[in-house]
Amino acid sequence: MSEHQTKESCPEFSEDHDHGRSGERDLGINVRSRPNSVLRFSLRESLGLMTIAILAIGLWLTSSKLRDREEELRVMRQEFGYLAPSRADQIASSRSPSDQPLTYKMRVRLPRELPAGISYQLVYSSIWESGRAAPTWFGAVPMPQGESLVTLQILNDPRDSKWKIAAVVSSTEGTSRIATGLPPPHEAIFRGSHDVISTGLGRETLLMAIGESIRLLDERWVVGSQGVMLDGGPPRENLVGVFAQLEPVGAP
C-alpha cells in the first residue's frame, strides 16, 4: 500500500492530528495571554494606588495650610480685634487689644445705609460728675458708616506739653481726631498709681439695634472712697476716668 493510500484510508487519524495541533495553538495562546492579563491588572492597580496616594497627600497639605491660616487668623484677631457679622439693622462693637498704657481701642461697625435723618457720633470725657446719669462729654467725633477703629488715649501733647484726652476715629474714608486738655487734678490722677474698674465693652461683639446708644469705654479710677460706687447708678461724688459712648444723632 502506498503512502498516499495510507493517508486517504485513515482520515480520522489525519483529522485528529490536525485537531491536536489546533489545540496546541489554542493552548499556546492561552498560556501566552496570562502574563499580559496579569500585567494589565497590575498597571491598573498601581495607577489606582498612585491616584489615591496623590489625593491623600493633597488633602493633607490642604488641611495643614487651612490649620495654619486659622491660627494666623486667631492671632490677628487677638492682636487687632474682631467684629462678628451683623445684620443691616444692627450696630456692632467690641474692645480691641492695646499694648500701650492709657490707650484704649474699640472696633465699631455702622450699617452702610442708616435710616434717613439718623447718624452717629463718638463722645468722650474724663469726668462723671456726681448725681448725673452720664459723664459730662467734652467733645464729639462724627462716626463714618461701615467699620472703623476708635482709639481713646490719655497723653502728654509734645506740641504744648499739656496732658489731654484724645479721640481718633480711623476708617477707609479717612481719620478724624479731636483732643481736650485735662484739668490739672485729672492729670495727677492719671499719672499716679490707682486701681481701675473697667465696665465697658469686652472682647466679644456687642450687637445693638439702630437708634440705641452704646457705652464703648468705662474705665473708672478708684480714688479715695469712690470704690464703693459699683452699683451702676450715678456717682455720689465726682468720678475720674476714661469714658466714651456711641450716640445716635437725630434718632426719635
Cα–Cα distance for residue pair 194/224, rounded to 1 Å:
10
Count other Cβ atoms within 10 Å, centred on residue 25. Answer: 10
Is the entire prediction scored with pTM above 0.75? no
Q: What are the 10-residue block averages of pLDDT along the chain, 252 residues in total?
A: 45 46 47 52 78 88 76 58 87 91 94 91 94 92 94 93 94 93 91 85 92 93 63 75 94 64
Nearest to 110 by CA among 92, 95, 126, 130: 92
